[in-house]
Amino acid sequence: MRAQIGLEYMAVVTLMIALLVPLFYIANQRLEVSSVSSRAKVAVSTIVTYANTIYAQSPGSKLTANVYVPIGYNNATSYIANRTILMHFDLTDGRPYDVFGITKGNVSGRLPPYPGYHVMTFTMNQSGWVIINTTAK
């Protein structure tokens, strides 16, 4: 009788673990997707803020910012065009995710080539364009 109760208890515990493992996996993946997307928004927001700050100043102004670009960043499909900065990310669940920002003035230059910490330099040239240069940190 005791062995049967112990066996039934073990079967219930095994069933509960079998049900909880996929739930933990799904929750972890959603948390990771949320983390990457929020970090991506912060990166683009930082770039746009610094570009707007330089645009409001006189030609020859220069600022430097440290920007963290999260994992999943795809430089091949990211771009800077006129006043638009678009960064493309491939999330861990396989979905594409684009984050873009609109600047107050025209912007040109290079976005980071790969994920990680980067030092970005923002300079305003004589024609009123904000030039962005990126180096790895």
- For 70-118, what is each residue's pLDDT tens digit? 999 999 999 999 999 999 998 887 889 999 999 999 999 999 999 999 9
Can you read off the two tokens belonging to residue 133? 């240069």
Edge-to-edge strands of the sheet including 116-124? 62-69, 116-124, 130-136, 107-109
Task: Please give the full DSSP string across 80-98, using - where no structure is assigned.
Answer: EETTEEEEEEE-TTS-EEE
Edge-to-edge strands of the sheet including 73-81? 73-81, 84-90, 96-102
Q: What is the reported pTM?
A: 0.81
What CA dihedral angle connects 72, 102, 43 and 55, to 10 degrees?
140
Can you read off the two tokens belonging to residue 84? 């638009």
C-alpha atoms less than 13 angstroms from C-alpha of 16 in its C-beta half-sphere: 6
Cα–Cα distance, 42 to 82 (Å, whole number): 21
Mean pLDDT of 57-76: 92
